[in-house]
Chains A and B, each alone.
Chain A
Amino acid sequence: AQSVTQLGSHVSVSEGALVLLRCNYSSSVPPYLFWYVQYPNQGLQLLLKYTSAATLVKGINGFEAEFKKSETSFHLTKPSAHMSDAAEYFCAVSERGNNRLAFGKGNQVVVIP
């Protein structure tokens, strides 16, 4: 069964600094990988997804992630944090064909002015 690991439940970053959220996955077959964002009292919104095309994936709000098969990783980055980036971020994996997402525990991002 597929799974993802996100380390560090809370991440603090200064406004204007690099945002880096780490995600490592486990899957017995080539996976689909996703990053979702959740703002307070809202549902999950897709940031970006990897589905076997380009390994560097660009998403909304200036975020991007790189799929590295050798490291089984799909880390999320943004060059310069904005106050509006304060939210919870979830990495998720699905095995192609089973239509089910397995989520990591999430990273709560706090942006410091």
Chain B
Amino acid sequence: EAGVAQSPRYKIIEKRQSVAFWCNPISGHATLYWYQQILGQGPKLLIQFQNNGVVDDSQLPKDRFSAERLKGVDSTLKIQPAKLEDSAVYLCASSQRGPGFTGELFFGEGSRLTVL
């Protein structure tokens, strides 16, 4: 079974530029998450999708971050304009739903962003 795919793995941009990250979840997983992991900290949830609807985006800085999940499969996270403090690893994860769900999330390898 293929895992969660993310691209690009690494991206270096200058502040005020824009960047987009792509995620393809595990086939059949209805729930998709974007987490931000700043160096030395645990991952922080940015946004959660259920199919193509947003469940929770309370910690997404909406003035510069946007995310979409068209057709309920792939997702894109965009940052525009980027700030220095956006330097982090952006992790995508997916999970199943249903009576047997026990909370486990499956993570991709992450996209490392460096803002200069």
Q: Could you tell me which A residues sit within 8 Å of B by CB distance? A: 6, 9, 32, 34, 36, 41-46, 49, 51, 90, 92, 94, 96, 99-106
B105 in contact with A101 (CB, 8 Å)? yes
Contacts of B44 in A (CB 8 A): 103
19 contacts between A and B (CB under 8 A): A6-B42, A9-B40, A32-B103, A34-B103, A42-B110, A43-B107, A44-B93, A49-B103, A90-B43, A92-B42, A96-B103, A99-B48, A99-B101, A101-B43, A101-B45, A102-B45, A103-B43, A105-B41, A105-B42
Specify the chain B residue showing the minimal Cβ separation from A96.
B103
Contacts of B103 in A (CB 8 A): 32, 34, 49, 51, 94, 96, 99, 101
Q: Could you tell me which B residues sit within 8 Å of A by CB distance? A: 4, 31, 33, 40-45, 48, 55-56, 91, 93, 95, 97, 101-105, 107-110, 112
